[in-house]
């Protein structure tokens, strides 16, 4: 699929059209657009913690973030204002719902829809990255806000539509010949997420484990798990289990690693890269 990038002046109309399209599919979700904000995740976390927030899913899309962030407090940088999809979806689960594996499930939904768009080389790096040509195409950040009425999961997604030349470790969809807009992506991704989240609430991650393993970028490779930058354990990456935990074959046997505050690196890359 090829399409011209959206013009910022048209984005409010695109947001309204997306909300109407979701409603036509019986998917209830408020869609809001902002040209610039510090962080779409932070915006929605503040909103859902307010006393007057309705228990409805909310999607917030931004043209630019001045303080976007990834896991472990690291920044998420975006380039040109039409060069990225920057959005967050707030979803209300029942109070106390376990959320382990949610970011891993979101990775499956994102990668599958990238394939549908034409990016057939998109693969998954545990626990929260999408890779293309072995470079970072997208990242996912899930943050929680517990209120008396719900356990809110705020799911942040940053996706490079265009390759940012200033970040050699990153890649955009243009690298595989796709010239598309944030709204093209959201017309596929938003319904998939809104349909998948109620299933996740009932089953957890397990329905997507097989799909994740098919999309696994580093299957069978020697990797190291880092905890706040320090080596935690190492072994061969086998894939994920039904809870979204990484399965590592180590000299001591099979290990299960939960995402938490850990990062994953190829063992051979540790001397030349920093955790992400």
Tens of pLDDT, residue by residue over 81-90, are 568 999 999 9
Q: How far apart are the C-alpha atoms of 233 and 200, rounded to whole Å?
A: 29
Give domain status of residue 37, yes or no. yes
Give me 177's structure tokens.
């010949």
| 204 inside domain | yes
- Spatial contact of 80 and 160, defined as CB atoms under 8 Å apart: no
CB atoms near residue 211 (< 10 Å): 16
How buried is residue 164: exposed, middle or buried, by Cβ count under 10 Å (0-12/13-18/19+)? middle
Q: Is the pTM of this model over 0.85?
A: yes
| 93 domain-assigned | yes
Structure tokens at 206: 């397990």
**What confidence score (pLDDT) does residue 259 get?**
78
Q: How far apart are CA 153 and CA 93, in angstroms?
A: 7
Segment 145-202, tens digit of pLDDT: 999 999 999 999 999 999 988 888 899 999 999 999 999 999 999 999 999 999 999 9
Residue 1 counted as domain residue:
no
Q: Which pLDDT value is given to residue 151?
A: 96
At residue 275, the pLDDT reads 40
96 and 208: one domain? Answer: yes
226, 112 contact by CB (below 8 A) = no
pLDDT tier, 209 (very low <50, low <70, confident <90, very high otherwise)? very high
**Whether 172 and 230 share a structural domain:** no
217-242: b (≥16 Cβ within 10 Å) or e:
bbeeeebbbbeeeeebbbbebbbbbe
Are residues 239 and 134 part of one domain? no
Residues 72 and 97 reside in one and the same domain: yes
Within this chain, do residues 154 and 24 fall inside the same structural domain, yes or no?
Answer: yes
Same structural domain, 208 and 231: no
276 with 237: CB under 8 angstroms?
no
Q: In this structure, are strands 30-37 and 58-65 parallel, antiparallel, or unpaired?
A: parallel
pLDDT score at 4: 46
For residue 158, give the nearest of 171, 145, 177 by alpha carbon. 171
Question: Are 32 and 121 in a shared domain?
Answer: yes
Residue 68 pLDDT > 90? no
Query: Residue 137 domain-assigned?
Result: yes
**For 66, which DSSP code?**
S
Residue 276 lies in a domain: no
Of 213, 239, 254, which residue sits at a domain end? Answer: 213
In degrees rounded to 5, what are phi and psi of residue 19?
-60, -40
The pLDDT confidence band at residue 1, using thresholds 50, 70 and 90, is very low
Helix (H, G, I), strand (E, B) or coil at 31: strand
Looking at 213, 232, 253, the residue that finishes a domain is 213
What average pLDDT does the chain have? 88
Give the pLDDT confidence score for residue 31 in this predicted structure.
Answer: 97
SS3 content of the chain, % helix, strand, coil (to 5): 30, 35, 35
State the total domains in the chain: 2
- Domain housing 49: 8-213
Residue 274 pLDDT: 44
pLDDT surpassing 60 at residue 76: no
Q: Do residues 244 and 198 both lie within one domain? A: no
Last residue of a domain, one of 213, 233, 249: 213
Same domain flag for 147 and 174: yes
- In this predicted structure, the answer to whether residue 124 has a pLDDT above a threshold of 80 is yes
Residue 275 lies in a domain: no
* Tokens describing residue 205: 């991650």
CATH of the domain at 195: 3.30.930.10
* CA distances in angstroms from 209 to 126, 145, 200, 246, 268, listed in the order given: 12, 26, 12, 11, 27
Exposed e or buried b for every residue in 148-157, given b needs 16+ CB within 10 A? eebbbbbbbb
For 129, phi and psi rounded to 5 degrees? -120, 150
Q: What is the pLDDT of residues 217-254, one digit of tens each?
A: 999 999 988 876 666 788 999 999 999 999 999 999 99
Q: Examine the domain organization and report whether 143 and 265 are in the same domain.
A: no
Domain annotation covers residue 274: no
- Helices 182-203 and 11-24: angle between axes, nearest 10 degrees: 40
How many Å apart are CA 42 and CA 21, to the nearest integer? 26
3-class state of residue 254 by DSSP: strand
**Using CA atoms, how far apart are residues 53 and 55, in angstroms rounded to an integer?**
7
**Shared domain check, 182 and 264:** no
User: Are 197 and 224 in the same domain?
Assistant: no
């Amino acid at each position: 699929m090829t399409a011209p990038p959206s013009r910022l002046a048209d984005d409010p109309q695109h947001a309204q059209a997306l909300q109407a399209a979701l409603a036509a599919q019986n998917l209830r979700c408020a869609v809001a657009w902002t040209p610039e904000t510090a962080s779409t995740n932070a915006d929605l976390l503040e909103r859902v913690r307010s006393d007057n927030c309705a228990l409805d899913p909310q999607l917030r899309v931004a043209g630019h973030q001045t303080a976007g962030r990834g896991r472990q407090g690291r920044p998420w940088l975006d380039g040109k204002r039409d060069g990225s999809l920057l959005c967050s979806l707030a979803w209300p689960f029942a109070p106390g719902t376990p959320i382990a594996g949610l970011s891993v499930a979101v990775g499956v939904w994102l990668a599958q829809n990238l394939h549908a768009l034409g990016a057939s080389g998109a693969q998954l790096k545990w626990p929260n990255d999408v890779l293309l040509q072995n470079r970072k195409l997208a990242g996912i950040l899930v943050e929680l806000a517990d209120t008396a009425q719900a356990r809110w999961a705020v799911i942040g997604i940053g996706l490079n539509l265009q390759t940012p030349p200033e970040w050699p470790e990153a890649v955009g969809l243009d690298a595989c010949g796709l010239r598309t807009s944030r709204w093209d992506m959201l017309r596929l991704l938003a319904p998939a997420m809104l349909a998948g989240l109620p299933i996740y609430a009932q089953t957890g991650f397990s329905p997507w484990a097989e799909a994740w393993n098919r999309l696994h970028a580093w299957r069978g490779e020697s990797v190291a798990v880092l905890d706040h930058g320090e080596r935690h354990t190492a072994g061969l990456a086998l894939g994920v289990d039904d809870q979204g935990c990484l399965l590592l074959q180590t000299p001591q046997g099979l290990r299960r690693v939960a995402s938490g505050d850990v990062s994953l690196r190829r063992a051979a890359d540790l001397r030349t890269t920093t955790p992400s």
